[in-house]
Amino acid sequence: MTSPNRPETARRRANRIDEIYGYLNDVVEYVDDHALQDDILDWMEAADDVPASSLLDHIEGVLADFVEYQMYRRHGDGREDFPEACEGCRHYRTACPLFTQRRVKIERARLQDELVDAGEEEVKQKLRQLAGEVGCHVIKDEIARWDEEFADLLTEGQVLRRQTIHLLRPKSEADVVAEEVAETAGVGN
């Protein structure tokens, strides 16, 4: 059953990444630590490369890239008819059920329609189930990669935001007085 409000983790993570991106974009020019500034810019480039807005879109995008291949052996050993990502699959160099079996193609299309409003956990469960039925390690690997990349990107962004907040935080009166006292006393010179 689909959820009408789509309370999915991916959307929340994507929104949090967008919020961090907006904050870092606003402050990056004020950061005078060049290494931190480079880290921020690198993180922003990585955030720009997030593959899709949802796991379902990501998986379908990966599978859409396979369309340039026949996904069944036409001649020879069949290597040129499959992407490298499929190597190791029991269907590699023979025929991929995701692309060649009518029943599986219909099921995939049905799932895509059914899961468009589903939460991320339901999407993962249904896609893993389909992958298990047809023996597709690419789908399972992409789900794991999706989780890892989002989690790592979010964590790194939160660390960068904290570092910039500490760097750009205005000094309190007590800090200013302590620095002036230290300068007057000759401490630190």
Asked if 115 contacts 2 with a C-beta cutoff of 8 angstroms, the reply is: yes
- pLDDT tens per residue, range 157-178: 999 999 999 888 876 666 766 7
d(CA 20, CA 14): 10
- pLDDT tens per residue, range 105-126: 999 999 999 998 888 889 999 9
Asked if 186 contacts 52 with a C-beta cutoff of 8 angstroms, the reply is: no
Cα–Cα distances (Å) from 56 to 122, 144, 159, in that order, read 10, 13, 28
β-strand partners of 95: 72
For residue 181, pLDDT over 80 is answered with no
Boundaries of every domain in the chain: 9-185
- pLDDT tens per residue, range 43-89: 999 888 776 667 888 898 899 999 999 999 998 999 999 999 999 99
